[in-house]
Structure 1
Amino acid sequence: MQYEFNQVYKEDCDIALPKLVQDGIKFDLILTDPPYNLRKDFGNDSDKLELNDFIEVNKRRLAYCSDLMDKNASIVWFGIHHYIGFIQTMMYELGLSYKRMNIWYYENGFSRTKKTPATQYEPFLWFSKSDKKWTYNADDVRVPYKSADRLKTPVYYKNSKGETKKWVPNPLGALRGDVWSYPTLAGKNAKKERTEHPTQKPISLILDIIKAHCPKNKDGFYEGKILDPFFGSGTLGVCCEILNKEGHNIQWMGFEIEEKWVAITNQRISEVRETLV
């Protein structure tokens, strides 16, 4: 079977990934939100593994992902504080280059128990294939300054030679840090976007991660190949299609084992494609 871009396949990524490796396909970005092993119900037992099984299966998956990364590619992998340390160690062992452990922070988190703090963050790792070159479009994901007055006031400082230099605030905003604040898809405000999927990520979050890590062509348009082995309800595909409607040329591919989520994905993507710009 020859895989094509810009579609999701109902297939287990543990079967699909080695096929992609064999076909010699390379990606500029692997961006994925795999099962966290917290016993969520995705319609199967993929989130209910014993610790040793969880470690072994993810070692295999990450090895395939590493083989699928182009020479300057990045991998962004969502996780949970329970197990993210294992994933980080595996990436180091594969020879990938650590860039950052970012935090998705949300104030509308909650807790089912009073014996532990409420959940308000999820980490996502960023490693690159090369330790010398990678894509990070810093200006595309700048955030507003805390005060608009910052834009009015230059800052003077001394450089290493003792020379006085002037720093002028970037009109696009402040350089983004490693804490990315976006609300979860809870409450009335998220009703239109939310599906039945139990761990669906916000479009706003995934869209910005793509903007940060997708390569651009000489005209400044995103033009890369992106893979999500755990496609879920299709948010990555939705985000890529939103950007493509703006003139970009992102090629994406996803795998999902449950027919229910594949159907929801295809419906969401169709709605984006059919909506007038």
Structure 2
Amino acid sequence: MDINLEAICGDAIIELKKIESNSVDLIVTDPPYNLNKHYGNNYDKFEFDEYLNFSREWIKEAVRVLKPDGTMYVFMGMKYISYIYNVLEKEMEMYFNSWITWYYTQGIGKTKGYSPRHDDILMFTKDKKRFKFNLDEIRVPQKYYRSVNNMRGANPGNVWEFSHMHYCNKNRMKHPTQKPEGLYERMILASSDEGDVVLDPFLGSGTLLRVCQNTNRNGIGIDINPEYIRMSKERLEEKFLGFDSIDERMKRVPNDLNNAEIRENYIKNHISWFLKNHQDAIDDFMKEVKEKYYDKMKETNQLYLFKTYTSYKCRKK
């Protein structure tokens, strides 16, 4: 599928005004939190009312370009999230769907008060009922296999655990608030289809474009810093070996896969359902399969699966 990935250098509000109304299927964005972060050529430092007015302006344009059945995900810090919620629901008349909590194990340390260990993501839709949500694309494996369960997996819920983008991560860029690709993967797969247009008015390190590139979506990213635009374009040239983060549940092997035929089908399907964008996690999955079912698989002549799938990550996507 031919897709278009566009990284635009410019002010988010000015560039959003150039985009045609009702032309974008999905917006996923991580705007400034007004925490005095240094973003190369600008500081995230506004007076309170100034920041809210800035937020209103970009949100108004974002809603305008969103299609009638479109969805918007907005990352936001604790200090302003209630105000952004109000702007989206009361002022822009969007429909609230979900408040997602991204939990991570390491973050800012505090000696007086509790150290923060989560970010929040607001999910709003332009229409109350008519919007895309591809649940099968984002299910997580069950703890136990039961014939009454959906073998495809369960709804991931609204608390997501993904590792923070540590400075030792191979994909860590020179950006102070880089987000994991796994977060964007889930939102993009859930709320858009292949060939759709996905927009990020605050592109930063280019995560949205990288995920769009490898999920067959058209992507538009805007950032005011030319260095971040250059960084994002270089990132798109890198070989894809799997996204840089994963919900650890995706590697989970259900208990009670005792029927040989069901077990074989499940292992094959698990790779394509849950790990198609995470080739580097397949060995961990197969290791757990071996720990749980090796003896049974030996009895049923299924050991070939280890040879077949442990080499999967070496193949091109």
| TM-score calculated relative to the size of structure 2 | 0.72
- Cα deviation digits, residues 18-40 of structure 1 (max 9, x gap): 121xx446111011011111111
Asked which structure has the greater CA Rg, the reply is 2
CA distance in 1, matches of 2:16, 2:108: 35
Are positions 1:85 and 2:82 aligned together? yes
CA distance in 2, matches of 1:94, 1:231: 23
Counterpart AA for 1:85: S
- Cα deviation digits, residues 36-85 of structure 1 (max 9, x gap): 11111102344111110000011111111111110100000001111111
Q: Which residue of 2 aligns with 1:162?
A: none
Greater share of residues in strand: 1
Greater share of residues in helix: 2
Maintained 8 Å contact 1:37/1:48 = yes
Note the residue ranges of structure 2 that are not aligned, 5 or more in a row.
Answer: 243-315
Q: Which residue of 2 aligns with 1:181?
A: 161
Q: The residue matched to 1:59 in structure 2 has which SS?
A: helix
CA distance in 2, matches of 1:100, 1:233: 25
CA distance in 2, matches of 1:24, 1:66: 9
CA distance in 2, matches of 1:179, 1:209: 13
Q: Which residue of 2 aligns with 1:97?
A: 95
Shift of 1:273: 7.5
Question: What percent identity do the matched residue pairs reach?
Answer: 30
Please, which of 236, 252, 261 is the counterpart of residue 219 of structure 2?
252
Q: Which residue of 2 aligns with 1:160?
A: none
Q: The residue matched to 1:124 in structure 2 has which SS?
A: strand
Q: Which residue of 1 aligns with 2:303?
A: none
Runs of 4+ in 1 over 4 A off after TM superposition: 272-276
Are positions 1:194 and 2:172 aligned together? yes
Q: The residue matched to 1:19 in structure 2 has which SS?
A: coil
Compared CA separation, residues 144 and 118, structure 1 to 2 (3 A) = farther
Shift of 1:108: 2.3
CA distance in 2, matches of 1:32, 1:177: 20
Shift of 1:223: 2.5
Q: Which residue of 2 aligns with 1:10?
A: 9
Give the alignment of 1:50-65 within 5 angstroms: 50-65=47-62
CA distance in 2, matches of 1:15, 1:108: 36
Maintained 8 Å contact 2:21/2:66 = no
Compared CA separation, residues 96 and 136, structure 1 to 2 (3 A) = same
CA distance in 1, matches of 2:21, 2:66: 10
Q: How many residues align?
A: 241
Are positions 1:265 and 2:232 aligned together? yes
CA distance in 1, matches of 2:199, 2:51: 21
Please, which of 192, 198, 209 is the counterpart of residue 214 of structure 1?
192
- Cα deviation digits, residues 178-221 of structure 1 (max 9, x gap): 11110101154x2x111110000011111111111113xxxxxx
Q: The residue matched to 2:136 in structure 1 has which SS?
A: helix
Q: Which residue of 2 aligns with 1:109?
A: 107
Maintained 8 Å contact 1:227/1:253 = yes
Maintained 8 Å contact 1:35/1:46 = no
Are positions 1:66 and 2:66 aligned together? no
Shift of 1:242: 1.4
CA distance in 1, matches of 2:226, 2:15: 16
Compared CA separation, residues 187 and 261, structure 1 to 2 (3 A) = closer
Q: Larger RCO: Structure 1 or Structure 2 (Cα < 8 Å, ≥ 6 residues apart)?
A: 1
Counterpart AA for 1:75: M
CA distance in 1, matches of 2:198, 2:156: 22
Counterpart AA for 2:185: L
RMSD (Å) for aligned C-alpha atoms: 1.9
Compared CA separation, residues 186 and 95, structure 1 to 2 (3 A) = same
Q: Which residue of 2 aligns with 1:164?
A: none
Compared CA separation, residues 17 and 187, structure 1 to 2 (3 A) = closer
Q: Which residue of 2 aligns with 1:31?
A: 28
Maintained 8 Å contact 2:178/2:204 = yes
Q: Which residue of 1 aligns with 2:132?
A: 135
